[in-house]
Each structure stands twice: as C-alpha cells, then as structure tokens.
Amino acid sequence: MQIRLSNTVNNLVESATIKMAQMARDFKSKGHDVISLSLGEPDFDTPGFIIDAAHEAMKSGYTHYTPVPGLVEFREAIVKKLKRDNNLDYDINQIVVSNGAKQCIYNIAQALLDKGDEVVIFAPYWVSYSAIVELTGAKVIGLNSEVQDDYKVTADQLKNALSDKTKFILFSSPCNPTGSVYTKEELGTFAKILEGYPDVLVVSDEIYEYIVFEGEHQSIAQFEQVKHRTIVVNGMSKGFAMTGWRLGYMAAPLPIAKACAKIQGQVTSGATSFGQKAAAIALLTESNEKAKMKAIFKNRRDLMLELMNGIPHMLLNIPNGAFYLFPDVSSAYGKSLNGKSINNSQDLAEALLSEEFVATVAGASFGNDNCIRISYATSENQLIEAAKRIRRFFEKLK
Ligand SMILES: Cc1ncc(COP(=O)(O)O)c(C=O)c1O
C-alpha cells in the first residue's frame, strides 16, 4: 500500500528547533558531549508552590474535562493579571485558555484567515508563526530587520506593508529569536500607523513578558487606536518555567474569542484541569520566583555577551529580553571547514554541531538566513564551555 499524505503536511516545514534538538540527541547517543543551545525553554523546574497547587487540585477532584475556553478560576486570574500587570481591562468571556500559546496562535489563524489574506509578520520571527499562517492558505508578508537596528521594524516598513488584504499583524515583544523588546514609544508609532487601517487586527505575543532586563514590558494593547482590535497572547511556559504544562491564553475581542473557542471545542477541548487550577495560583501569588529566574537570565546574557566579544564573523545586538542571542554570522558564508563549505545559516548550524558539538538553530527558519539562534537557557558552566567551542569553530574557518 502506498500511503498518500496530504498536500498540507507535505508542504509544512518541520519545526527547525525540534529538528535541531533531534540532531543533537543523535550525536549525544553516539557518545559525543553535546551542548544544546537550541531549545526555547527555561532550564529551571516549575516553582514548588505551583507543583503543590497542582497536587492539591488533583486530590480535590480537578481531574475532569474543563470548559472549552478555560476554568472560570483561571480566566478570572488572567483578567486580574492583565489589569494588574498591563492595566488592560477584559471581561472573562474575552479570555480563551489553550494548550500553550502556540495553540492560541493556531486558533487565531484558523479563526481569521482565508486563502488570499495577508498577515504582516515582523522578522526575525518565532518559527511557528509562518507555518501556522501558511497552513490556512494566507500569505506571510515578512518585514525584515537587521542586527544594526536591534532587529526592530520601523513604522515606515509597517506602513508600506499594510494593504486591504492585511488581516492582522503579528509580532512578539520580547522577541524570540532576537531578544529585542519594543519600547512604549515604538509601539505607539505602530498604533498611530494602524489608525489609518481600521480593519487590521493586531496579534501581540507577550509570552516573554516577565523576562525583560531594562525598563518595563509594554503591550501595544494599551493604545486607544488599537485597544479594541488587539489580541494579546501570553502563557505560563516562559515566565513560570511551565513549558510542559501546555498552558497559554489569549485576550481578544469577543467575537474572536468565541470563534477560537469554537475551533478548540472541535479539536482539543479545554486545557488540563489541575494545570489550570495551579496556573491560576501561579498568576495570583506574590512570589519572587519569576524575578529570581529573570536575574539569572540577565547574568547569563551579560556573561554570553562578554564571552562572544571578538569572535570573528559574529555581530550581536544587546538583547533586552527573553533568553536568546541572535548573532549575524553572514560574513562567515563562503568560508569552509574540513572541506565543507558554509553558505547559509543551516550549513553553519550543522557544521557547528558536527565539529564542536554545540547545537544552535539556523536563522533561516526565523526569517533571517544571516543569523543563528543561541539559547542561553542553560548553566553558566555549559555556557562557558560552549562559548569556547564557538570561538574555536569560527577561528578555524578558512
Ligand atoms: C514567541 C513565542 N510565542 C509562543 C511560544 C509558544 O509557547 P507555548 O509553550 O505557550 O506554546 C513560544 C515558544 O517557544 C515563543 O517563543
């Protein structure tokens, strides 16, 4: 029998981060000492009080199906959090909880996009944005930005990309993969531009909100011009080290929230019961765990910037958030190592892995082939060793 897969899946690109993690595991299983700087998750375990809350919830009967848009307790906690941290007002019916922010973005794309629609995405962007949008038949309009500009898109670029086909714009701040964080002023200029495009929605992915090093996280939803048409996406994965719990949420205009719940109701139903109960407690409890993790990430960022200093072919911005470096390494293209020539970011990431056993991710999958993504969500010792190997690798290129 010949198994015929759908065109949809045949056209879908494999997640580059997951692919690189698999390659790293393969080298590891062959006995190599691989340092993985490819994954997008905090290396910390979930704080104990959240785990305790999940135990308690399980023991007290939170083991059943949940309402599709989320447990009332969790959605109430999200409404409070959005007011407390972001000064945003939402009704509980505008909140939809999903299996990770990834599913929120998937739901949004499915709820809003038809073939022929356009989505303006700030590049470099998180790998899944383009795949999720393309699954619907809509077109990605990527706005490029480079290391010299701290990987920030300008208001003029945004203006030139908008058209009557644009359904929404989509970006993350803090950004994965660049660590860039848009300031209030910068977001304000985007909101001003959007004033002239009243039918364009904004999808603001704020999942790294709690990992901002200088200044405060800002949401574009604060601006009057776009408040009523912004979908804020956030979740528990990064700020609370809860990646495996699969809990994300969105706050959206009511018809969009309803549409997303409708889709989710047919696909996965409500997210885990005890997880949501614990997540509600995580959002509402005053604890210094988030701040502790942030301080560690900041120390590692500073350490990495110091260690990367002067490595040939490596141009860096100073990332103000998240836990990634996104160096431009394009001046190494055309060089070679042990007979293998390096002509793009995939060649470079693969050579770095096979030569020095350091796993990173090619920038091409984030919409910028000049770069590689280095995650510093690992211990200082690992980072010091990885940096040594990265330096040696670039110095060896001929
Ligand atoms: C920018 C961005 N958005 C969303 C997600 C998805 O997070 P979740 O674990 O909540 O699905 C990630 C995870 O890497 C991310 O980097």
Q: Which of 109, 127, 136, 125 is nearest to 19 (CA)?
A: 127
Instruction: Provide CB contacts within 8 A for 18, sequence distance 6+.
Output: none
Question: In this structure, how many other beta carbons lie within 10 angstroms of the beta carbon of residue 224?
Answer: 8
Distance from CA of residue 264 to its chain's centroid?
21
Amino acid at 317: N
Looking at residue 389, its pLDDT comes to 98
From the list 331, 349, 327, the residue with the least C-alpha distance to 340 is 349
First to last CA, the chain: 49
Q: Which residues contact 171 (CB under 8 A, 6 or more apart)?
A: 121, 122, 125, 153, 182, 203, 204, 205
Instruction: Output the CA torsion sign for 337, 339, 342, 346.
Output: negative
Question: How far is residue 344's CA from residue 347's CA, in Å, rounded to a whole number?
Answer: 5
Q: How far apart are CA 329 and CA 306, in angstroms?
A: 17
Ligand 1: centre distance to CA 205 (Å)? 8
CA 50 to CA 344: how far, in whole Å?
43
Q: 200, 229 in Cβ contact below 8 A? A: yes
Q: Which of 18, 102, 127, 206 to mutate to test the pocket of ligand 1 (most atoms within 8 A of CB)?
A: 102
What distance in Å separates the CA atoms of residue 41 and residue 1, rounded to the nearest whole number? 40
- What pLDDT is recorded for position 15? 76
Which residues fall within 8 angstroms of residue 221, CB to CB, at 6 or more apart?
86, 88, 202, 204, 227, 230, 232, 251
Ligand 1 pocket test, candidate residues 18, 126, 242, 268, most atoms within 8 A of CB: 126
Number of neighbouring beta carbons within 10 Å of residue 289: 19
> Looking at ligand 1, which atom is closest to the CA of residue 248?
10
Domains belonging to the chain, first-starting first, are 7-45+289-396 (3.90.1150.10), 48-284 (3.40.640.10)
Q: Which residues contact 102 (CB under 8 A, 6 or more apart)?
A: 128, 132, 248
- Cβ of 172 less than 6 Å from ligand 1: yes
Report whether residue 206 contacts ligand 1, using a CB cutoff of 6 Å. no
Residue 341, SS3?
strand
Residue 124 near ligand 1, beta carbon < 6 Å: no
The alpha carbon of 196 and the centre of ligand 1 are apart by a number of angstroms equal to 30
CA separation for the pair 149, 178 (Å, rounded): 11
Q: How many whole angstroms separate alpha carbon 171 and alpha carbon 123? A: 8
Atom of ligand 1 nearest to the CA of 102: 11
* CA-243 nearest atom, ligand 1: 9
Torsion 378-379-382-384 (CA) sign = positive
The response to whether residue 177 sits with its C-beta less than 6 Å from ligand 1 reads no
Helix (H, G, I), strand (E, B) or coil at 53: helix
Strands (E), the chain: 35-36, 95-98, 118-122, 139-143, 166-172, 201-205, 230-235, 248-251, 324-325, 336-337, 340-341, 358-359, 361-362, 372-375
Residues forming beta bridges with residue 321, ordered by sequence position: 212
Q: CA 244 to CA 238: how far, in whole Å?
A: 10
Query: Ligand 1 centroid vs 337 CA: distance in angstroms?
Result: 34
pLDDT score, position 17 = 76
Question: Digits of tens for pLDDT over the chain (398 positions)?
Answer: 999 999 988 988 877 777 788 888 999 999 999 999 998 899 999 999 999 999 999 999 999 999 999 999 999 999 999 999 999 999 999 999 999 999 999 999 999 999 999 999 999 999 899 999 999 999 999 999 999 999 999 999 999 999 999 999 999 999 999 999 999 999 999 999 999 999 999 999 999 999 999 999 999 999 999 999 999 999 999 999 999 999 999 999 999 999 999 999 999 999 999 999 999 999 999 999 999 999 999 999 999 999 999 999 999 999 999 999 999 999 999 999 988 899 999 999 999 999 999 999 999 999 999 999 999 999 999 999 999 999 999 999 99
CA angle 247, 250, 252 (to 5 degrees): 165
176 CB less than 6 Å from ligand 1? Answer: yes
**Quick check: CB of 100 below 6 Å from ligand 1?**
yes
What is the distance in A from the centroid of ligand 1 to the CA of 12? 18
| Residue 207 Cβ < 6 Å to ligand 1 | yes
pLDDT of residue 18: 78
pTM recorded for the entire structure: 0.96
- The one-character DSSP state at 43 is S
